[in-house]
Amino acid sequence: MAPTKPVPVAEHKIERTPEYEKFIEELRAFHADRGTTFDPEPKMGNTNVDLLQLFNYIVENGGYDKVSEEKLMWRKMCENLGLMRHNAPADAYTLKQIFYKQLAAYEIKTIHKKTPPPPEILELTTAKGGSLLTRTLENYQARAKAEKDESGDDGTPSRERQANDTPSSARASRGLREAPAPRVPFYPETSSSRQTRHASGQQPGAASTPAANSPAQSAQHGHSNAATPHSQPNHQMNRDRGATNYRESYSWPAHSSASDIMNLAIHQYQLPAPQPMPLRIVDTPLNNPERFPGRHRLLRQAQAQGPTSTAALLRQTLPPSVMEGPNIYERCLLSLRSGIRSEQAFALNHLVKISYERGDKYKFSQFIGLADGLVEFALGVGNLFYNIDWTICNDPEVDEFEDGELDGINGTPDILERIARLEPKAVHDNFQPSEFTDHISMVTEAVLTIRNMVMLPENAVFMAEFPPLQDLLCILLHLPDLDVALELKHSALDIAEQITPFLLSSDHPLYRTLLAQLNSTDRGTILTALRAISRIAMNHATETNKLAGVPHSVLRNLMEWLLLNDDELLDACLDFLYQYTAIVPNLDNLIQATNIENLVAQLVRLLSHGAKRGVREYVVSDAMVRYDNEEARALDNVRSIPKDLLEELVAMEEPDRCYQWLKCFFEEDPESNITQIAVWQAYNTAFLEPLKKQGRGMINAAEFIRNISTVYQAAGAQILREVGPQGETQRFIIKGIRSRLSPLNLDGRPYSQCRWVPPPGGTPCHAWLIDARSMWDHILVDHIGEKSLDGEGNKVFRNHDGLFACHWEHCYKYPKPTQLNLFQLMAHLKMHINNELATSSPQENKSAAADAQTPSSRNKRNKGRVVEPAKVLHLAYEETASQRDERLPNAPPQAAGIPLSAVLILRNIARNIGKTEAEEAIIKKREQLQEARELGQIGSLDDSSDATEGYKERLFRLVKARLGEVFVENRVLTKDLTQLLQLLD
């Protein structure tokens, strides 16, 4: 298993919203004005990039220049947008290139309100660097020229060339590589050095002068001609003659053979003129005798002052061009191996920086002796904490080593025993001498350099095959528990984490050292040690990491750490347990050390770690209205318009008024129809008089009918032919709509109808009101006759006693005036109001379901209409961490994170628990019980079911129901849980 789990991100896809389409059109017009190529959907692998999402996200993070300034920021943008595939640097640069080509100029224009640079220095160049807001033709060309002239590509500073240096001179750069001198192609002479028979008669003097080079060759070797000015006139003359000879010499007769032509070309070949070779005067005792006696005198004077002063004097006496010396990499290597403390301090200080900044190119294999030098210097830590000097012995003939000697060829198998025999020095944790502080700082730099370099896989493979490094890690991890050695230990653990994937043996001293770190109380130490152990032999497909010899105390610690709310620690523990439970003998050790039933219970609990729970509603069938006869289907009357809605609609202009009126009073119904004249008359009755009072005109009938299909696309005008007693008749209908039972306001809220019927002989009210408060005030004022105490805002009424009657439709409680309190009457009316409000639904697709709850009076008015409510299925679901396969970006997400690790460990236990020695003991005991039953000695043995029940039944019997729930609710874990359940069955 991998040591870390990727953070799940949403799948990147293009959302073609109106905002996106508008943005793409603006970009297309912008690039057309600039004359640049525009790709509306650039690709990263198989994924199309959403330019609107990319633009908004980059602008939110400061824009192109801001993102380019921060290290690895483009990689972070790529991950957060869900575009990261398998090659992080390449994906980050591809995303940067897409923004640079398609959106950078648009950002400068729209966001920063500046004029973008011309395409010649923006879209037509690569996305190298940033500073687009300040880029101009002058500074960009100057910077490009400076980058082209700069020597070396290793990021180290280069010295300036001397005035007399040439490309063929010694190295003028301190970099790793230098561009070679440009090659001059060789062009052979094709002109003749002697005249032919055809040309001899025309130019008799040409035979005594050699022919010149061709014009192309003359241009190529112009610098050679310039080096000999005294021969220039004759050379020019020969060039003119040579041109004439060239034309004449190739005027061969028709009977010339190919061999004659080839021989003639060979005879005409002429060697090119010699080129001057640049030379530089070097001081020698012969040409400069004064310098060398002085130099030797200074060397003799400096012998007593040490090598550092000698080097300083040499730098003073010799010119800079002579003391070029090695580059910074070789300089650090030589300084490290010199044994001079000041030189080693210089080397380690620079190596830490180089290994951090150039870790992707700085390799051990390119610098012979670098690994040996760093490890040898780091072994000096033994003299700081113990009375021992660790040395490396590379003699293959030595069989016995002293305590301080390490086997540099095969490694030191008894390194832990040697360390255990050492007596530590009295090192104070807060006060140390300056020499101690300087030395341990240098040792820390050496170890940190190794740590930085092994982050590169090639360096990790190299150091995994270097046995002294493994001995060094054991020494560092067994240093005393002091704060001054804490950084060394953490760096050693980081190194171990990188090299353990390339180690095969789990009996190595380093493996036992890492196991000992699991008894620590430091969280960082535990995490790194767990990851390092879990990665042993990870890159060796044919080998198995057996993880033998794990102490019981470590296994008990793992059980306790699983109870903590620490995702990173949980992840590391589960990775270790996955490797550990894959080996059958390890399960026996786990059974002896811990209560494995509790482990299984914890793993089942972790199947829902970080889960998001919810309930999804699946509509099996929508609510429908069924009509028993055609008469009921066609006679849906249009409701009257409420006063407040009428005022709002009258204030609108056509066709908006028509659109809103249709939405408020009609809904789609494929099985319904209504006559065109009924719809038009309802609309005309509602708006003719109010518009006429304002002097405004109405829409005509034909245009009104066409607008119905605009609002409801499924609706359309049709002609219905019917045959009756009076013959064939035609009905002009609108098919596909029906009137709403309750009209809606402009916000989509339904109105409720007042069911107040005055005393016998009165007209029913049937007023439409929007909410309970309006209905309350309407009944008190218009029907009961109460007066409000205030005339503005919410109406307030005085409570008093009187004769009150309830005339709500089909109410028989207070049919006659009764002595009541006003509060009692309104409490009774509140029941009618709430029932009326409950019959209205705020959504169109639930209007039919509301009809199913209407009282019998409404069913009478809608005789022939049968309501079938919607059938909805409610399913609980559970979502845990998941990720998509980079090789199949369109495939469904797969399980990831802690739940996946938990189910894989459960699968290992279910697969291997039946092969353990503990299971074999249970089987043997079960056979003994069976024999005892047959012999009638059952009382002498334990016949309890717990003693003879197998481990698979004992561990998974109580959690099987929970496993079934997760299997049903968690879709991403279904595949892995299927394998687990098959093993249990």
Q: What is the pLDDT of residues 658-675, one digit of tens each?
A: 988 888 888 888 877 788
pLDDT surpasses 70 at 264: no
CA distance 49 to 52: 9
pLDDT at 325: 64
* Mean local confidence (pLDDT), 225-244: 39
CB 506 within 8 A of CB 547: yes
Amino acid at the residue 202: Q
pLDDT at 273: 64
Q: What is the pLDDT of residues 688-697, one digit of tens each?
A: 888 888 888 8
In a domain, 664, yes or no: yes
Q: Could you tell me how far CA 299 lies from the centroid of its own chain?
A: 62
* Mean local confidence (pLDDT), 342-346: 93
pLDDT at 296: 57
Residues 349 and 466 in one domain: yes
Mean pLDDT over each residue of the chain, to the nearest integer: 76
Of 167-171, 524-528, 637-641, 731-735, the range with the lowest mean pLDDT is: 167-171
Q: Which residue has the higher pLDDT, 233 or 809?
A: 809
Residues 803 and 908 in one domain: no
Residues 710 and 760 in one domain: no
pLDDT at 671: 74
pLDDT at 163: 38
pLDDT at 254: 42
Reduced to 3 states, what is the DSSP secondary structure of residue 717?
strand
Helical spans, DSSP H, in 466-547:
467-477, 486-499, 509-517, 523-534
Of 29-43, 52-66, 170-184, 214-228, the range with the lowest mean pLDDT is: 214-228
Q: What is the pLDDT of residues 821-862, one digit of tens each?
A: 887 888 888 887 777 777 664 443 344 434 434 444 344 444
pLDDT surpasses 90 at 767: no
CA distance 270 to 188: 8
With bands split at pLDDT 50, 70 and 90, how would you rate the model's confidence at 515?
very high
pLDDT at 607: 93
CB 352 within 8 A of CB 378: no
Reduced to 3 states, what is the DSSP secondary structure of residue 752?
strand
CA 727-730-736 angle, 5° bins: 140
When divided into structural domains, the chain yields a total of 5
Residues 791 and 833 in one domain: yes
pLDDT at 655: 86
In a domain, 391, yes or no: yes
* Mean local confidence (pLDDT), 814-822: 82
CA distance 739 to 707: 16
Q: What is the pLDDT of residues 176-202, one digit of tens each?
A: 444 455 555 554 554 444 444 443 344
In a domain, 603, yes or no: no
Residues 834 and 978 in one domain: no
With bands split at pLDDT 50, 70 and 90, how would you rate the model's confidence at 376?
very high
CB 771 within 8 A of CB 829: no
Domain residue limits at 695: 631-739
Q: What is the pLDDT of residues 458-510, one digit of tens each?
A: 999 999 889 999 999 999 999 999 999 999 999 999 999 999 888 866 678 99
Provide CB contacts within 8 A for 67, sequence distance 6+.
58, 61, 73, 74, 77
With bands split at pLDDT 50, 70 and 90, how would you rate the model's confidence at 301?
low
Residue 675: beta bridge partners? 733
In a domain, 733, yes or no: yes
In a domain, 269, yes or no: no
Q: What is the CATH number of the domain that holds 98?
A: 1.10.150.60
* Integer CA distances (angstroms), 880 to 5, 609, 663, 966, 970, in order: 13, 7, 42, 11, 7
Residues 792 and 727 in one domain: no
Q: Of 444, 476, 502, at which residue does a domain stop? A: 502
Q: Of 110, 143, 176, at which residue does a domain stop? A: 143
Residues 359 and 439 in one domain: yes
pLDDT surpasses 80 at 725: no
Residues 138 and 60 in one domain: yes
pLDDT surpasses 60 at 677: yes
Residues 703 and 804 in one domain: no
In a domain, 891, yes or no: yes
* C-beta atoms surrounding 979 within 10 Å: 14
Residues 706 and 785 in one domain: no
Count of residues in the chain: 985
CB 712 within 8 A of CB 697: no
With bands split at pLDDT 50, 70 and 90, how would you rate the model's confidence at 227?
very low
In a domain, 265, yes or no: no
Residues 735 and 756 in one domain: no
**What single string gives the DSSP state of each residue in 11-30?**
PP-----HHHHHHHHHHHHH
pLDDT at 750: 86
* Mean local confidence (pLDDT), 615-621: 83
Helical spans, DSSP H, in 103-136:
104-110
pLDDT at 324: 57
Residues 679 and 726 in one domain: yes
pLDDT surpasses 90 at 606: yes
Reduced to 3 states, what is the DSSP secondary structure of residue 51?
helix
- Which has the closest alpha carbon to 485: 538, 437, 422, 549? 437
With bands split at pLDDT 50, 70 and 90, how would you rate the model's confidence at 378?
very high
The tokens 């005085």 sit on which residue? 798
- Which has the closest alpha carbon to 841: 945, 918, 741? 741
pLDDT at 535: 86
Q: What is the pLDDT of residues 29-40, one digit of tens each?
A: 999 888 888 888
In a domain, 334, yes or no: yes
pLDDT at 531: 92
pLDDT at 794: 67
* Mean local confidence (pLDDT), 269-273: 59
pLDDT at 303: 58
Instruction: Give me the numbers of helices (H) and strands (E) for the chain, helices first please.
Output: 44, 17
pLDDT surpasses 80 at 102: yes
Q: Which residue has the higher pLDDT, 573 or 759?
A: 573
Q: What is the pLDDT of residues 896-953, one digit of tens each?
A: 999 999 999 999 999 998 888 888 888 888 888 888 877 776 554 444 445 567 888 8
Q: Of 115, 143, 171, at which residue does a domain stop? A: 143
pLDDT at 185: 55
* Mean local confidence (pLDDT), 60-75: 87
* Mean local confidence (pLDDT), 876-897: 88
* Mean local confidence (pLDDT), 692-718: 86
CB 332 within 8 A of CB 430: no
pLDDT at 252: 41
